[in-house]
């Protein structure tokens, strides 16, 4: 079981390295926690934890502007917490970022408090014209990252990869 968990996290990590992502910025959440833990101990990607999702978006916007490839990671509810920053930076300034969001509240959610996160965050992504795409496992993560950063490089919008329950369960359970 432990070996499988390491394999899924390791595959996801390898996809980030293969895509030359040098910084993983975000606020840990329970669904992505195995990936946060794995990456925080690795030397090839700088791990920058924040205490608010808006801070992660700001740091990533600056880093992206400097030409450095980075990924913001957080629960999907983070787009609500960072809504003001995301709105001003993306709509008023065209400062865009790439994000990995867990799909708290999505199909298969067991916790009552999690259910609103999925449909409200989807509405926020649509409202801010953030291109989003589901990722079901680490094997698909590499290709999704290639496409996500291609869209980001077009310079017209931010991008969100949404880690489905299937992916986050694989990260947690192997």
Partner 1 sequence: MTTRDAVNILASTLPEGVSLVSSPGRTADEVANKFPNQTLFIDSMGDVVPIAMGLALGLSPLPVVALDTDGSHLFGLSVLATLGAHWKKLSNLTVIVFDDHLYEGAGALPSRLCSIDWSMLGRAFELPISAIGNPDQFQSVLAKHNMSGTYCIVGVNNPTPVGSCSRTIDGIESRYNFVRHIERITGHTILQPCIKG
The answer to whether 28 contacts partner 1 (rule: CB under 8 A) is no
Which helix H or strand E contains 132, and what residues bound it?
Answer: strand 131-135
The answer to whether 89 contacts partner 1 (rule: CB under 8 A) is yes
Q: Note whether 91 and 43 are within 8 A (CB).
A: no
The answer to whether 93 contacts partner 1 (rule: CB under 8 A) is yes
- Candidates 165, 160, 105, 172; CA nearest to 128 is 160
Is the Cβ of residue 64 or residue 121 nearer to partner 1 in the bound state?
A: 64
Least distance (Å) from partner 1 to the CB of residue 91? 9
The answer to whether 158 contacts partner 1 (rule: CB under 8 A) is no
* Torsion angle of C-alpha atoms 81, 31, 45, 17, degrees rounded to 10: -120
Could you list the residues that contact partner 1 (CB under 8 A)?
A: 23, 46, 48-52, 54-68, 70, 84-85, 88-89, 92-95, 153, 155
């Amino acid at each position: 079981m432990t070996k499988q968990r390491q394999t899924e996290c390791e595959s996801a990590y390898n996809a980030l390295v293969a895509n030359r992502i040098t910084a993983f910025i975000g606020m840990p959440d329970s669904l992505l926690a195995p990936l946060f833990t794995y990456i925080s101990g690795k030397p090839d990607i700088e791990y920058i934890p924040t205490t608010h999702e808006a801070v992660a978006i700001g740091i990533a916007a600056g880093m992206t502007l400097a030409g450095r490839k980075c990924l913001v990671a957080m629960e999907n509810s983070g787009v609500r917490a960072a809504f003001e920053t995301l709105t001003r930076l993306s709509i008023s300034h065209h400062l865009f970022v790439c994000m990995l969001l867990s799909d708290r509240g999505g199909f298969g959610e067991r916790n009552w408090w999690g259910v609103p996160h999925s449909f409200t965050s989807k509405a926020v992504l649509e409202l801010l014209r953030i291109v989003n795409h589901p990722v079901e496992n680490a094997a698909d993560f590499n290709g999704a990252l290639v496409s996500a950063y291609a869209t980001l490089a077009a310079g017209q919008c931010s991008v969100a990869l949404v880690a489905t329950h299937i992916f986050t369960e694989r990260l947690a359970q192997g």
